[in-house]
Structure formats: C-alpha cells, structure tokens
Amino acid sequence: MPPDDLFTDAAEPLDEAPPSPGHRSCPVRDVLNRLGDKWSTLILVTLSQGPQRFNALARAVPDISRRMLTETLRHLERDGLIWREVTPSTPPSVRYGLTPLGTSLMPSLTELIDWAERQQPEVVAARVRFDRRMANR
C-alpha cells in the first residue's frame, strides 16, 4: 500500500497539490512524451557523438523523412536539448549539437537504452505469453 503522504486532503485546492504522474503538467510525462516519440531518442544518441549537419543526421537516422527530421529537431531545440547553428554561406550551413541540458540527459537515456536491449527477449516472451492467454479465452 502506498504511503499516506501520497494522498492529498480532499479539501486541499488542486492547484496546490504536486502534479501526479498522470497529471498533464507532470515533468515525467512531459519528458517521456518527447523521448518516447519515434525519432527523438535516435537523434539525441546520434548527436551525443558530436555536432552534425542536417544531411549527416538524415543519413544517420534510418527511414526518417526530411520533414520529420526538421520537425523533431525543432521540438528538441524548443525543449532546450539541442542547439542549432547557422553559418551564413551559399547554401547556408546548419549544424546541430547537444546543449548542456541534452548532454545531462545522456547517461539516463543510455541506461534506458541498455536496459531495453537487455530486457527485449523477456518483453517479447511476455507478449507471447499474454497473446496466448488472450487467444485461449
């Protein structure tokens, strides 16, 4: 059973209670929404190897469209995880890299990636067991 301090008094105003993991302003949900999309983690891992130009990122992240790469880079830049540097030239040269905030995320993200790779066989086996149970209903 969870500790009593996880529950708030019903008379307590909602705006004074700390956000729960299910609350839309929860920082965990906010970060996981960004990292859980299809491309952000791949882009961050690629940029952890050093700054990259747009075309190098497009080659490094398989199957991403130019439009989706642009959109994902904008989201990551907006969240402060990457920087964008434009060098005036013809055509303009654009490079992307991790900000200090993005760099600070990498140890946790790397640990999550390592966990997923180690546990993937167990996850697949659990799915198979579940699907069999559901099929036998």
Measure Cα distances from 21 to 31, 93, 101, 103, 113 in Å: 11, 41, 22, 24, 22
Tens digit of pLDDT for each residue in 32-90? 778 878 899 999 999 999 999 999 999 999 899 999 999 999 999 999 999 999 999 98
Q: How many domains does the chain have?
A: 1
Domain at 59, CATH number: 1.10.10.10
CB contact at 8 A, 34 and 76: yes
**Pairwise CA distance, residues 13 & 16, whole Å:** 6
What residues make up the domain containing 117? 4-135
User: 101 is written with which tokens?
Assistant: 């905030």
pLDDT for position 83: 98
pLDDT for 9-37, tens place per residue? 444 444 455 555 555 668 888 787 788 78
The sign of the dihedral angle between the CA atoms of 117, 121, 125, 131 is positive
